[in-house]
Amino acid sequence: MENTNIIPKIVKVEKGRIKVRNGDFYLYSFMISTNSTVDIHYAFTSGLEQGALGRVIPCRMNSACITSEVFGCEKCDCKWQLDEAIKYICESKLGIITYHPSHEGLGHGIFTKLKSFNLVDEINTKYVDLGCEKEDIRDFSPVLSILKYFSIKRVILLGNNLNKKYYLEKKGINVEYMENLIYTGKNEITEKYILNKGKLPEHIALKRNEK
């Protein structure tokens, strides 16, 4: 369980300047020690070289989804949301996306995630249906380490998950407001996923997609 009193330690950091379709970004790689384990986390940034102190920074907390982001799986809207966040930050010329490979499958990992894919045809089953004790076991504390590194204390949160908003606020980060990223594509499988996700209280913003 996450130690609520300790911000994980950044052991190592490196950055490189990269070009994407809509602009220039810096990609930071962080080695972060959390509860005796060390994981790699990333920050994709724009406009932060001049410092963030006192500024409201667009921020997305992005959990890795290799199935959609790399291989184009349409069972979810993860890649769509990531692309929209990058577009938003490019237009704003300011922002950060924290990216977390260890959050694959709500923290259960790729093996459990792929197992869930085998049990249904169109919508992922719940992880608790596979015998997992909790549905979501992601540890968001590395986000705090990254935000502290950039002196970010005020954000516009890009996304739909209220639990992320509540987490940041509980940890002293001021969330000015949430900029929802609500799927506007036409893929039927993805739309069914969105309708199912909108039934969760933390994703109330998606309810308007119900028919």
What stretches in the chain show pLDDT beneath 50?
A: 1-3, 122, 209-211
Supply the residues annotated as catalytic.
136, 138
Distances (CA, A) of 38 to 13, 33, 34, 110: 13, 4, 6, 18
Any alpha helices (H) in 14-65, and if so which ranges? Answer: none
Euclidean distance between CA atoms 180 and 168, whole angstroms? 16
Q: In 3-state terms, what secondary structure has residue 162?
A: helix
- Contact (CB, 8 A) for 39 and 28: no
Tally of residues, the chain? 211
pLDDT at 125 (0 to 100): 66
% of the chain beyond a pLDDT of 70 = 92
pLDDT at 209 (0 to 100): 42
User: Element (H or E) spanning 181, and its range?
Assistant: none
pLDDT at 144 (0 to 100): 97
